[in-house]
Amino acid sequence: MSGHGTPIPMTSRTGGALAGVAEVPGDKSISHRALILGAMAVGETTITGLLEGEDVLDTAKAMRAFGAEVTRDDDGTWHVHGVGVGGFAEPDQVIDCGNSGTGVRLIMGAMATCPITATFTGDASLNKRPMARVTDPLALFGAQAIGRSGGRLPMTIVGAADPVPVTYAVPVPSAQVKSAVLLAGLNAPGQTVVIEKEATRDHTERMLAGFGATVTTEETNEGRVITLTGQPELTPQAIAVPRDPSSAAFPVCAALIVPGSDVLVPGIGLNPTRAGLFTTLREMGADLTYENEREEGGEPVADLRARYSPEMKGILVPAHRAASMIDEYPILCAVAANATGKTMMEGVKELRVKESDRIAAMADGLRACGVTVADGDDWMEVTGMGPGKVPGGATCASHLDHRIAMSFLVLGMSTLAPVSVDDGSPIATSFPIFEPLMTALGAKVERT
């Protein structure tokens, strides 16, 4: 089993205002997909702006194991020589996806309709997470999965030698499940149809179309119906990965809760399936503006400007918004603790099966910092203490979860006493430059 090596305890504390420009790294979701789709195209895909975090590097390694040639130039440009749809070779080693649910679930989908067998594992966090949500639909294509109890990794997938196309209504709001089915559908003859009740991030659909697949999306009474025509020849692409809104969330939220701050976070994708946090923050009264709004690669993009916002009020964050900000609830909790009044988050059950149980992890750490939190299976409520009034002074457990670690470190930039996390090493999975970037803005965050 892989791990993150030696734990890195970290501490943050209040300091001066945060100011400057925060250039966050490439989008994690798009980076995984660029490598996987590049590996399934015929010829050379080039990728600039790829997130070079551990999760994505594990996917790059996996694509090599399935036969694609993946190289990096000194200037950070990546090249993927793909093997074509259905062309994956059988890996001769176990595929270790580290901490990444996206990596393992998308790759399982991509190989499930190839006549090969592969075994997957991950770190202690990933090996606890549910995989049946992907292996159930992959079985409909004719693939078999043999894993540990509860449908957990390590797990072996025997790909379907003679795949059939599938129509599948995704039972949980999950872009990973949707994407696994679509990637499997690439090597099935005929049309594969995925129906999702709630819209989740649509990067796979957009990128499949960009690579030349025939994919349509229709809004119906049952939800979004996505139809993919199987066995296309994917054409290699030149992909410029936009900056990650989920990483932008950290400097943006830090600026909102640290007195006097004014931070610009340029070039952030505002795809509506990803931008729920920013809508929520503006509803709370955040001084968060979109500057220089434009389109890049078919996606809406803007420079985000966040200024200290002591007037923020707690609100009800509706369940229908959950999918568009599913990774941002931990950092929203840090903002909510600094707002006035209660912030109620509904329809957030999926948080229980992320890199950690994020409801439990945030509730425990916030309570240790002196914040009142109520929670149930599918909801969470944080009672705001007003700007700069959170006591802090605790060490919070990050549970091998990058977003939990970063959320408590941002909270500590606003609290009366410093906040520590027991292990900041998972931050490298998605935001390897978090510490220098926040420090350059003026934040007091250090390894302890």
Enumerate binding residues for ligand S3P (CB under 6 A): 29, 101-102, 174-176, 179, 201, 326-327, 350
Residue 226's H or E segment, with its range, is: strand 223-229
Minimum separation from the CB atom of position 319 to ligand S3P (A)? 14
Q: To the nearest whole angstrom, how small is the minimum distance from the Cβ of residue 109 to ligand S3P?
A: 11
Helices 28-40, 101-111: inter-axial angle, 10-degree rounding: 20
Min separation Cβ 136 and ligand S3P, Å: 14
Nearest CB to ligand S3P, comparing residues 271 and 338: 271
Q: Taking the CB of residue 257, how many other CB atoms lie within 10 A of it?
A: 28
Smallest gap, in angstroms, from Cβ of residue 177 to ligand S3P? 6
Q: What sign results for the dihedral spanned by CA atoms 354, 355, 361, 366? A: negative
Between 51 and 140, CB nearer to ligand S3P: 51
Measured distance CA(141)–CA(201) in Å, rounded: 23
Considering the complex, what minimum distance in angstroms separates the CB of residue 282 from ligand S3P?
A: 22
Find the shortest distance in angstroms from Cβ 134 to ligand S3P: 10
Q: Is 112 left (phi over 0), alpha (psi -120 to 50) or beta?
A: alpha
Q: Select from 88, 110, 128, 237 the least CA-distant residue to 179.
A: 110
Query: Which residue, 155 or 419, has its beta carbon nearer to ligand S3P?
Result: 155
Distance of alpha carbon 391 from its chain centroid, rounded? 30
- Is the four-CA dihedral 360, 364, 367, 369 of positive or negative sign? negative
Query: Is the CB of residue 364 less than 8 Å from the CB of residue 396?
Result: yes
Total count of residues recorded for the chain: 448
> 446: how many CB neighbours lie within 10 A of its CB?
15
Check: CB of residue 234 under 8 Å from CB of residue 38.
no
E strands, 253-321, are 262-269, 287-296, 299-307, 316-317
Query: Catalytic annotation on 327?
Result: yes
**Could you write out the DSSP letters of every residue in 76-135?**
S-EEEEEE-TT-PPPPSS-EE-TT-HHHHHHHHHHHTTSS-EEEEE--TTGGGS--HHHH
Question: Could you check whether the bond before residue 300 is cis, i.e. omega within 30 degrees of 0?
Answer: no
Q: How far is the CB of 245 from ligand S3P (least distance, A)?
A: 11
Task: Report the nearest approach of ligand S3P to the CB of residue 169 (Å).
Answer: 15
d(CA 370, CA 321): 28
Pick 262 or 378: Cβ nearer ligand S3P:
378
Taking the alpha carbons at both ends of the chain, their separation in whole angstroms is 27
How is residue 243 annotated by DSSP?
B
Catalytic residue among 27, 96, 202, 327: 327
Judged by CB, which is closer to ligand S3P: 30, or 263? 30
Strands (E), 365-418: 373-376, 379-385, 395-396
Whole-number Å distance between alpha carbons of 328 and 247? 9
Residue closer to ligand S3P (CB basis): 328 or 381: 328
Closer residue to ligand S3P (CB): 179 or 356 = 179
313: β partners:
340
Using the minimum distance from each CB to ligand S3P, give the nearer residue, 281 or 322.
Answer: 322
Sign for the pseudo-dihedral over CA of 145, 107, 276, 286: positive
Q: Which strands make up the sheet holding 167-170, listed edge to edge?
A: 167-170, 191-196, 223-229, 215-220
Enzyme catalytic residues: 327
